[in-house]
Amino acid sequence: MKHILLTTHGTPGARKAEALALEWAHRYGAKVTILSIINEAWGDMTCDDWLNTSTTRNTFGAYVAGEISKEIGQLWDRLRDEFQGVEIDFLSKAGKLEDVLAEAAREVDADVVIMGAWQQEQAPGFKDRFENKRLHPQMPCPLVVAP
């Protein structure tokens, strides 16, 4: 195993995936690419707002983009510390969760993809989950769900 693709937003479930990826990276000497997926639904978050001018909506869009980048930056800083001694790379992509994960796995030519398990209660953050029936047929490599 040479290349692990880890997808995480830093939630409790995903942290188990981070630990497993770190362990396997050490065991096999593999490179880890950390993927942050920006949910495409953010693009629709102005919803039924019709009162604001396009300037205000653009300001909001830019602010949201900045906040998402900031959150991803903080996550990557933490993982940079935790993955010391492992060759790591970072990737952020926007779109449908399942499509983006499969696309990233193909792009980095990953040997395995590691992700967190389905949680009964979602951690604070954007509420969205992978749909297995959409994800599985697309995957170009094995998918490991960290227990």
Q: Which residues of the shown chain bind another protein in the complex (CB under 8 A)?
A: 39, 41, 44-53, 55-57, 59-60, 63-64, 67-68, 71, 124-128
3-class secondary-structure state, position 143: strand
3-class secondary-structure state, position 27: helix
Both structure tokens of 76: 């990557």
| Strand order, beta sheet including 88-95 | 88-95, 31-39, 3-7, 112-116, 143-146
Which CB sits closer to another protein, 44 or 147? 44
Both structure tokens of 105: 């796995």
Which CB sits closer to another protein, 87 or 119? 119
Q: How far is the CB of 62 from another protein (least distance, A)?
A: 8
Q: How far is the CB of 84 from another protein (least distance, A)?
A: 28
Which CB sits closer to another protein, 27 or 127? 127
Gap between the Cα atoms of 127 and 125, Å rounded: 6
Q: How far is the CB of 126 from another protein (least distance, A)?
A: 5
Which CB sits closer to another protein, 57 or 80? 57
Both structure tokens of 97: 């969760």
Q: How far is the CB of 103 from another protein (least distance, A)?
A: 18
Gap between the Cα atoms of 89 and 32, Å rounded: 6
3-class secondary-structure state, position 103: helix
Q: How far is the CB of 127 from another protein (least distance, A)?
A: 6
Which CB sits closer to another protein, 28 or 60? 60
